[in-house]
Structure 1
Amino acid sequence: MVRRLAWSLPPAVLLAAAFLYPLALVVRQSFQSDTGGTSLKPYTAVFASAAFRQALWTTVWLALAATACCLVLGFFLALVIAFVPFPGAKAVARFVDVFLSFPSFLITLALLFLYGSVGMANGLWTEATGEASGPFHFLTTPWGVLLAEVTYFTPFVMRPLLAAFSQLDTAQLEVAASLGARPARIVRRVILPEALPALAAGGGLVLVLALNEFGIVLFTGAKGVSTLPTLVYSKAILESDYPGACVVAVVNVLVSVGLYGLYRVVSRRAGA
């Protein structure tokens, strides 16, 4: 018993020092009012703000929409890479691993070069039509943020799916095909049940990352799109409202943990 405590104590201390203590400081600061002392005024002020309510709603729906789109698109792409023979399939699978190391702002900048106000698509349009500006301005809207998040986070779903598909016994697929099952039925009855744990893992990761994504929203230049992470930045850096920033940060953590827990419950009930 003593030996177990001796082995478990250092990791516990390290976890407390690296994570729990800073989090405790943020929580304590969220209860510090400008007049001094402990107060709920920072919470009441933030909760009464229309900007906070809008940021909360935007954060939640963007994260849920990005997770749903990544699950569908990631499953389809992983299915094609794993089971549809084409030249370069292995290279594409390796590129997915490399893609995971890319910073989110790099993908956003690539989209800006393509679809930004002075990007390639608008440039080709103005050259072809002679108009002063092109029609592609969606990157500065919530839909542009959603596109960037789906583009960046889809490989996080594909990676566990590709690993799961590599372990799938192909004899099951051959037997199902020999019995006359169509490809759609094979995917629904054979492949999808085996992929559910990987889908749950990838979807949970995407949900948490999307809820806390900052760089994509910032680099798209979507000024009308405010999420909880960008609101923390705005209050702390631009407004110097540190208690308010800590309140938003605490809410962001609670929303992330709550939605992730709900996602895990739904995944378990779905058999993932």
Structure 2
Amino acid sequence: MDSARPVPGPALGRPSGGDGAAPSPRGAAAAPRALPRSVWALPPVAVLALLFLYPLALVVQQSLTPDGGGGAFDAYARVFGSRAFHDALGTTVWLAVGATLGCLVLGFTLALVIAFVPFPGARAVAKFIDVFLSFPSFLITLALLFLYGTVGMANGLVTEFTGAAEGPFHFLTTPWGVLLAEITYFTPFVIRPLLAAFSQLDTAQLEVAAGLGARPARIVRQVILPEALPALGAGGSLVLVMCLNEFGIVLFTGAKDVTTLPMLVYGKAILESDYPAACVVAVVNIAISVGLFGLYRVVSKRAGA
């Protein structure tokens, strides 16, 4: 009997040409290449350059090479040597620092009450703070004028009951009135991050401290305050920068003797048509704001905030 011979078939390792054939690398479709990340960054960078960097460059250029001629730093020497600039700089700094300290103290106190003192409507008050952040600054100033202005409600009540020719409240047109308006308007910018920080606080720590006999003041000082420091730093730095650049509050209070750096820019550019001097003051104001923000970032990074 003859032995069965094997049927010749396709060699191993070679495609048979049927359905199981491996595709040729040349025939495979090339996968689409993803666009580089730099391409996606071009549109926002272009918008930023057009709307912010280009006008800023024009301001810096006008401060160094004014259209009226002169040396590169003549406008800076003229502005830095003026008494008006020194007074505006001092007024801006002390108002910003004073308002920031007032907002920190008042904001921390109000945040403690809202977060840890149960009272009806606490949640509604917290919601109202979010809405308050959207209000324009001049609206708060107008409200204070209705209350404490020369013809406001407080002066009206005093003159009605006493028969005096005018009321005793005239502080809104002074630096103290501007300070009150800024503290009133910017305090919610401190309360909001504090409430967020307090919501993350472990209440068990408070219960343990209270169980050990610690008084509320000690609990606030040793338990709550350390947890609130990053939020206080964030809110305080934001308020400080915003107060340095605040224009509407000073304008709407009608405080003629209060001249800050933004008001000086307005006066030089609009009232005096001295555009080189206005650009110099604007550059100084921007440099102070950016420097404070950079300092805050360095400090917060080292603190681990």
**2:148 aligned to which of 82, 97, 115:** 115
Q: Which structure has the bigger radius of gyration?
A: 2
The structure with higher relative contact order (CA 8 Å, sep 6+) is 1
Give, as a single letter, the amino acid of the residue that structure 2 aligns with 1:33. Answer: P
**1:158 aligned to which of 191, 201, 223:** 191
Give, as a single letter, the amino acid of the residue that structure 1 aligns with 2:153. Answer: M
CA contact (8 A) 1:200 1:264 kept: no
Q: Residue 9 of structure 2 aligns with which residue?
A: none
Q: What percent identity do the matched residue pairs reach?
A: 78
Give, as a single letter, the amino acid of the residue that structure 2 aligns with 1:43. Answer: Y
CA contact (8 A) 1:161 1:198 kept: yes
Distance in 2 separating the partners of 1:181 and 1:141: 44
**2:225 aligned to which of 192, 195, 209:** 192
Give structure 2 stretches of 5+ with no counterpart: 1-33
| 1:174-228 deviation per Cα after TM superposition (whole angstroms, max 9, x unaligned) | 1111111111111111111111111111111101110000000000000000000
Cα RMSD for the two superposed structures = 1.8
Q: Residue 230 of structure 1 aligns with which residue?
A: 263
What TM-score, normalized by structure 1, do the two folds share? 0.94
Pairwise CA distance, 1:168: 1.2
Task: Indicate yes or no: 2:96 matched with 1:71.
Answer: no
**1:35 aligned to which of 68, 89, 98:** 68
Pairwise CA distance, 1:15: 2.2
Distance in 1 separating the partners of 2:186 and 2:68: 43
What TM-score, normalized by structure 2, do the two folds share? 0.85
Task: Indicate yes or no: 2:222 matched with 1:183.
Answer: no
- Structure with bigger helix share is 1
Moved more, 12-21 or 153-162: 12-21
| 1:145-177 deviation per Cα after TM superposition (whole angstroms, max 9, x unaligned) | 000000000000001111111111111111111
| 1:49-100 deviation per Cα after TM superposition (whole angstroms, max 9, x unaligned) | 1111100110011001111110111011000000000011011111101100
- Aligned pairs for 1:92-171 (under 5 A) are 92-171=125-204
CA contact (8 A) 1:71 1:203 kept: yes
* Distance 1:35-1:242 versus aligned 2 partners, 3 A rule: closer
* Distance 1:203-1:101 versus aligned 2 partners, 3 A rule: same
Q: Residue 56 of structure 1 aligns with which residue?
A: 89
Give structure 1 stretches of 5+ with no counterpart: none
